Each structure stands twice: as structure tokens, then as C-alpha cells.
Chain A
Amino acid sequence: MSASVARLALARRPWPWLGPLLVGIVLVAAPWWLPNQYHLHIAIQAGIFAILAMSLNLLLGYTGQLSLGHAAFFGIGGYTSALLGKHLGWPVFVGMVLAVVAAGLAGYLIGRLSLRLRGAYFVLVSLSFAGVVALIAVNWMDLTNGPLGLPGIPEPAIAIPGLGEFSFRSKESYYLLVLACAAVSYFVCHRLVCSRFGRACVALRENETLAQAVGVNGTRYLVVTAVVSAAMAGAAGTLYVHYTRFVSPEIFLFSYTVTMVVMVVAGGKGTLLGPVVGAILFTILPEVLRAVTSYQWQMLVYGILLILTIFFLPKGIVPAVAGWWRRVAPRPAAATRTVAGEAEAHEPAR
């Protein structure tokens, strides 16, 4: 973790970077203590969805706009690198970078389209955009092979001078790749949120009229957040596609968006750790449910869980736990902070 995290974390606690360091070591060492391929598979999925959830959280949690079309960025990322790799034979890493760029461009488009639209209108624009993109993927057979999808997507490989080519074929290596990307995503979110930029986004969420009056250009921050958020979702998309080695219009399924929303909301929107916790929880949960029941029950449980979470834990799991922890031990953790430089705020004594 960066030095600024350590500095921003309340330095009254000794070695505040010890916790994150231990977590980091445990995560990196996972291929050794999780030799079961199935568990590694779940870990990879959790990592990809963590990136996806973090991206949605930037829009939903911090600028306060719900994008129900986020699966579109996921899919655009996936399709871009798949097509570049399969049709043009470009090196996968190049394709992945371009996929992130393409998704970011799509985010820019949404941001510009929305301009001054907020709330329900923004939701509808994002939903409609995703609908159009999905329809294109289904109907433009020449490009995307339609509903049949494109199998045989290559896995990423890098040429190490002197050692030859190393391809990320094994689950262990792919896990480390995903972990690295997730760490980068978390870092990006942390930097953005704990800054003047993050404050402007929160101002947008809390009271845009007032924010404008003190010089915050709402549209600009929304567009930039949309670009970063979309690019991150696109990164998750390419990681997903090169892992499953397959892409089809199913990637645009609304159920992915729904899962993402549940992860962010249940985990804790507007916090840094919330989407990560939500992603891990809701990646493990369906696997547990799958052993017991079918896909429909799984989705039904999601729906009910979403409702229950909003009723009982309206801020999500991470803030609830942080609140409980604060009552037990007086120093709040850095990653539950909601905005730049401030730990989770406490209510004044009445």
C-alpha cells in the first residue's frame, strides 16, 4: 500500500500499514494455501467482480448516480479484446489495454449524453445504452457471431526476454494477474476518493445545486467519473473474457448488472472496502447456493437479499461493521472512510 495511505490512516495507531500488509501477503500467497483449482476459480471470479463492483461504486456510491447499464462497459471491454485477439491476431495484452480504452470511451459517451440528466433519467439513459449495445452484439452476426458467441479466445501472454514466452494459462498465474489488477483498481479508487476530486463527486451526490454555487462543475465530474468507472468495468470485462476463453451477448445480461448493484449496495456504497466485501460475499454465495439449489433460487435470493439489506442495513455491511467496531474500539479503519481525509464521521453527542 502507498505511503499516503499510511499517513492518512490515523497514525495514532502503531504501524497502521501492518493490517493491509498482512492482508496483502495472505492474498498474494493464495495459490499456495488454496491449491484446490475450484477454490482458485472462485477467487478469480471474486477478483474480477471486485473490480467491477468498485467501478460501479465510483458512480453509484460517490457521485450518487445509478448506472444500470454497467454491464455494457463490461461487455464492450470483453468484446473489444476478444475481437482484436481473435480476428486480428493482436497480442492479448495490447487488446486488453485497448479494451479498457474502448470502455472508457463508451463511458465518455454516456457522460456526454447525460449532461444534466440525473437520477431516474440517468438510470434510463444508461439502461437504454446497454440495451442498444446488447442488440448490436446479437444482431451484427458478421462481427460478433451473434448469439452463438466467439469461442477460442486466447489467453494473455507476455514475452520475457531471455526466458521465452510466459502465458497465463494456469489458474495460479491468472489469479495473480487478477489480483494485481484488483489492487491497481483499489489504488485508483482510493486516490480518487481521498482527494479534491472525490470531494467534488460527493458534493454532486449530496447537493448538486449547492456544489454549483461554490464552483463545482457537476457535469464535468460526472463525465470523468463515468470514464474512469467504465474503463475499470472494461478491464474487468477483458479479464473475464480471457479467463473463460469465450464471449457472447450473454455478457450483457442484466443479471450481471443486478449482481453488481447488489454487491455494491449490500457491501456498502460510498466506501472503499464495501464493493470488495460485497463482491467476495456474492461470489461465494452463489457457489454455496449452487450446491444446494438452482439458478432461479439464487437470483430470487439475491432479490430478497437486496430488499432486506435496504431495510435493515441501509448503508451496507462495511459501514455497519465499522460502526460496531467504532463502539468497541475507538480508532476507525482507513478503508471505511467515506471521503477525502476523513474517517467515517461520528454523530455529535446530543
Chain B
Amino acid sequence: MDILPQLVANGLIIGGTYALLGIGLTMIFGLMNVVNFAHGEFYTLGAYAALFVLSALAPNFLVAILGAILVGALAGALVERLLAPLRHESIDTTMLLMIGVWIAMQNGELLAWGGVAKNIPTPFPTEPVVLGPLSVAPLRLFVLFVTAGLIVGSHLLIQHTKLGRAMRATFQDQETAALMGVNVERIHTITFAFGSALAAAAGALLGSVFLVYPSMGDLALQKAFSVVILGGLGNLGGAALGGLLLGVAEELGAGYVSSGYRDALGFLLIILVLLVRPSGLFSRAERVG
């Protein structure tokens, strides 16, 4: 079909940001066993942070993205510190707690910035770049590069740095890691900050492609969960692949079937994967109890 390559390309670009969302969420879940229902709010926060930087500080798009990442990291660290005393509670309690944070953050943002959707001004020309059968807006190309950079950067951090090793050790066996001298408390804070920073980056990037409004995080949260389920909880590589897969699937669905039900695809995928292969598409199957 004529439009297939275009749809796939679009899907990969959007999917890359979904991957960022998913990697962040799966880190937080996989490492800390916290179902972070507030994840979408860090996404929103990133978008508003970029907006703020551009309008009040410096009209430099890259700086705005960096600002968003920074804000996301700080907010994530702050939330983690605030809720740290309850970390040993059951998973239900932490779930409810994160729902509380979700509500508080979203309505806080609503109060602070109002409900009207806003645009993030970008320095890119609107004329699409033509690459063979594909036609891509320069902004979206930029998003692709930044996303790819962040994903690769995350991978390098986790796999090849001392910090990454500490995170992986804590992920596998918290007690042993602590015995080996890892400051587990700090790792938790850093992980939460890192995951939130990635969400914020996704928010700033997608917010500049689409619109910025206070409830944009709800959809992002759902997509993040879809990606995490697809890839398997705690599986970073799976999340990256899952994000791309979801993006492409959505574009194909919207292009060939109907765009109204586009977001339903994410929901249906969650249900389907949970039914058939709850450990995720890319995980090795685990034992059944």
C-alpha cells in the first residue's frame, strides 16, 4: 500500500516517545515494585516545564527540552522522598498512594496553568522533509533524534556505568546489593528521578508535536502501561521494543481502520497480552503458580 511506509515512519517516531514513557515506568515498577499511577503527570509536567522555559527563560528549544528533563528528575526525586516512609507497605497501599499523587498533581497543574490547551513554539520550519517515499516534518525528525539519543543513553547508563550496575544489582536482589555496599535508598531515589525524567522528556517532545493541556497525562499513562505490559514488567529492552510496536500499531490502525478508536488499541493490547502472555511479549515465560 502506498501509505504504509509513511504510517510506519510516523508510528516509529511516536512510538519512540512511548518507549521513553515505558522505559521510565518499567524501571520504577521493576526496581521498586511501585505501580506509578502518577507517571503520566510527570509527562505533563515536562510539557509545561518546556513551555515555561521557552516563554519565561530562554527561547531555545533544546534548552527547553533539557529543562523539562531536569524538572522531571527533580519532581520525581521529591515525590520519592516524600513517599519513602511508606515504601514498605503492601503494593495496594502504594498503588493508592500514587493515585493520590496523580490526582493532586493533575489538578495542581490545572490550577496553575488553566485548562486551555497551549502550543509549544518550536524553531523548525513546517515544510516537511522528503526522504524517498516518506515525508517527515523537521520537528518530528528532531523528536526522533532526541528520543533515540535518550534511549541509547539510558541503555549505556544502565549497562556500562557503575551507577547502572548498582541499579541492576538492586533490581535483582535488593538485600544482597545492600550487603555489597550499594546505597539502596539513593538508588531508589535516582531510579524514580530517572524514570520521571524520561517521562518528562516524552511530554516535552510530544507536547511540542501536539498540544499541551493538563489531562494529557491520562492518555500517556495508559500508553505507558500498555508498553510496560507488552515488554514485560521490569524489562527495559522490552519496553523500548514495545513502545515502537505500539506506535506503529496505532498508526496502522488509525490509518487503515478508524482514527476515533485509535486509543482503544492500547487498551485492547493490554487486555490481549495479559490474557495470553502476562509476562510480556519479550520476556521469557515464567512459572505459573
Contacts and interface: CB of A to CB of B under 8 A. Distances in A.
A184 B7 CA distance: 54
A143 interface: no
Interface in B89-112: 89, 91-93, 95-97, 99-108, 110-111
A217 to B, nearest CB: 14
28 contacts: A66-B95, A113-B271, A116-B288, A120-B95, A121-B274, A124-B229, A124-B270, A125-B271, A125-B274, A127-B222, A128-B270, A128-B271, A131-B263, A131-B267, A132-B271, A135-B263, A135-B267, A138-B260, A139-B261, A296-B110, A297-B111, A299-B110, A300-B107, A303-B105, A306-B100, A307-B104, A310-B86, A314-B89
A299 B278 contact: no
A123 B95 contact: yes
Contacts of B129: none
A209 B271 contact: no
Top 4 A-B pairs, shortest CB-CB distance: A303-B103, A303-B104, A306-B100, A307-B100
A66 B233 CA distance: 19
B274 A123 contact: no
Interface in A128-142: 128-129, 131-132, 135, 138-139
B275 interface: yes
Interface in A51-97: 64, 66, 68
Nearest to B259: A139
Given A132-B264, A300-B111, A261 B91 contact: no
A179 interface: no
A21 B275 CA distance: 48
Interface string A287-322: 000000000110110111111001100100000000
A124 B233 CA distance: 13
Interface string B26-54: 00010000010000000000000000000
Given A299-B107, A303-B101, A120 B35 contact: yes
B35 A123 contact: yes
Contact of B103 (A131, A139, A299): A299
Nearest to A255: B103
B225 interface: yes
Interface string B110-132: 11000000000000000000000
Given A139-B260, A254-B218, A304 B104 contact: yes
A251 B188 CA distance: 38
Contacts of B99: 68, 258, 261, 306
A117 interface: yes
A136 B29 CA distance: 30
Interface string A103-115: 0000000000101
A119 B89 CA distance: 14
Contact of B268 (A68, A119, A132, A303): A132
Contacts of B263: 131, 135
Contact of B267 (A128, A297, A302, A306): A128
Interface of A: 64, 66, 68, 113, 115-117, 119-121, 123-125, 127-129, 131-132, 135, 138-139, 209, 254, 258, 261, 265, 296-297, 299-300, 302-307, 310-311, 314
A261 B97 CA distance: 11
A299 B101 CA distance: 11
A76 to B, nearest CB: 16
- Interface residue SS majority, chain A: helix
B133 interface: no
Contacts, number: 108
B181 interface: no
A54 to B, nearest CB: 18
Contacts of B101: 303, 307
A66 B104 contact: no
Given A66-B92, A120-B95, A135-B261, A311 B86 contact: yes
Residue among B93, B100, B261, B288 facing the most chain A CB atoms (10 A cut-off): B100
Contacts of B233: 120
A123 B271 CA distance: 11
A306 B103 contact: yes
Contacts of A127: 222, 225
B72 to A, nearest CB: 19
Nearest to B92: A66
A290 B229 CA distance: 39
A132 B261 CA distance: 9
A306 B37 CA distance: 14
A115 B89 CA distance: 25
A297 B104 CA distance: 9
A310 B100 CA distance: 9
Contact of B225 (A64, A124, A265): A124
Contacts of B108: 300
Nearest to B35: A120
Contacts of B288: 116
Contact of A300 (B89, B103, B266): B103
A139 B111 CA distance: 30
Nearest to B215: A254
B274 A124 contact: yes
A64 B229 CA distance: 22
A258 B35 CA distance: 16
A95 B218 CA distance: 33
B96 A261 contact: yes
A129 B35 contact: no
Interface in B232-289: 233, 260-261, 263-264, 266-268, 270-271, 274-275, 278, 288-289
